[in-house]
Structure 1
Amino acid sequence: MKELEIKALYNLNETIAAKIFEGVTYPWEVLPKISDFIIELGKALPKETYDEVKENVWVAKSAKVFDSAYIAGPVIIGEQAEVRHCAFIRGNAIIGNNAVVGNSTELKNVILFNRVQVPHYNYVGDSILGYKAHMGAGSITSNVKSDKTLVVVKGKDGTIETGLKKFGAMIGDEVEVGCGSILNPGSVIGKNSNIYPLSSVRSYIDEGSIYKKQGEIVQKN
């Protein structure tokens, strides 16, 4: 299903993690690889640009990290990124250039492309957020099904078994997620889409869509 493929969702020129996507078709296939990839990439980062502030935590010299933020490796924080007050980064996180991780936001096993904003009280786990994606205050990715079964992805023409118990959302480039929304396990949001506030999203949302509520999705003009 082409709409679910990496090339349909993401501009790989807008992430330091482009190589992790080589040899795979669907973006969620890289979720189990993030930890090892960060460690390998971190060791090769230029020392004139990045500091290894503690074991397996690389922070660009131009990034701004508040003292109250908690960061457990492996993590890479890109150039001009900002990690604000009381952010909780639990490891396995790549935070792109000019990205914002806001107050009391929690990250775990994620790739944030350049200029992503998760600025206020967000939980983002086992997910990938494309270039300039923005999650409104209090919006979250739910990454485990309530019955604890493996996550499947529902596309336009069928389903794909992921084999993953933990899988949040694949959010395409320049997606806007409204405040207080929940992206349920296995959600895939096509690029340039908007999600209304207080939405509960499941399955695939076509690119260039406005998601108003379940059963009411329109294309942008």
Structure 2
Amino acid sequence: GPCYIGENCVIGPNCYIRPYSSIQNNVRIGNAVEVKNSIIMSGTNICHLSYVGDSIIGEECNLGAGTLVANLRVDDDEVRIEIKNKLTKSGRKKFGCLMGDHVKTGINVSIMPGRSIYPDAYVEAGSVVRNTIYSE
């Protein structure tokens, strides 16, 4: 399907880059990563065994091994996003996360649908992101 992969990218073995994904320049994607309908900005690293669906990932982020971005609510309701400290319906059944530039996640991080992570934030290993994460 249609997708874009920029210059100087490294796509590891057993990856699945699904349609309508845009991977900008100098991105590194590790072994067995799936990217679906997402925008991955320049200089970002997505380590092995990760999933990013229906998301926008900023520049020079580092997603630790096993980082999973959920994009579908268990109850099949539309995903809600936080705008000005209020949860608002997105109008979409599938929506992953909005991740600012220079974000780092530790290994085995799970990000719930519709969450935002502000630029320069760090998410500790093993965390479940249920709310907006602000930078320090």
Q: TM-score range by the shorter chain?
A: over 0.9
Over the matched positions of the two proteins, sequence identity in percent amounts to 35
User: Which deviations, in whole Å up to 9, do the C-alpha atoms of 1:129-176 show, x marking residues without a partner?
Assistant: 000111100011000000010011124531222111101111110000
User: Which deviations, in whole Å up to 9, do the C-alpha atoms of 1:34-80 show, x marking residues without a partner?
Assistant: xxxxxxxxxxxxxxxxxxxxxxxxxxxxxxxxxxxxxxx21111010
In 1, Cα distance between the equivalents of 2:40 and 2:101?
Answer: 10
Equivalent residues in 2 for 1:62-101, closer than 5 Å: 73-101=1-29
2:123 paired with 1:195 = yes
Q: What TM-score do the two structures reach when normalised by structure 2?
A: 0.96
Which is bigger in relative contact order (C-alpha 8 A, separation at least 6)?
Answer: 2
SS in 1 for 2:95: coil
SS in 1 for 2:101: coil
2:47 paired with 1:109 = no
Q: Which amino acid aligns with 1:180?
A: N
Q: CA RMSD in A?
A: 1.0
2:66 paired with 1:138 = yes
Structure having the higher helix fraction is 1
In 2, Cα distance between the equivalents of 1:157 and 1:200?
Answer: 19
Q: What TM-score do the two structures reach when normalised by structure 1?
A: 0.60
User: Which deviations, in whole Å up to 9, do the C-alpha atoms of 1:79-124 show, x marking residues without a partner?
Assistant: 1011111111121111110001111000100000001111211100
In 1, Cα distance between the equivalents of 2:41 and 2:86?
Answer: 28
Larger Rg: 1
Query: What's the counterpart of residue 171 of structure 1?
Result: 99
Q: Residue 203 of structure 1: CA displacement?
A: 2.6
In 2, Cα distance between the equivalents of 1:150 and 1:168?
Answer: 12
Contact 2:47 2:66 (8 Å CA) reproduced: no
Structure 1 residue ranges without an equivalent (≥5): 1-72, 209-218
Query: What's the counterpart of residue 149 of structure 1?
Result: 77
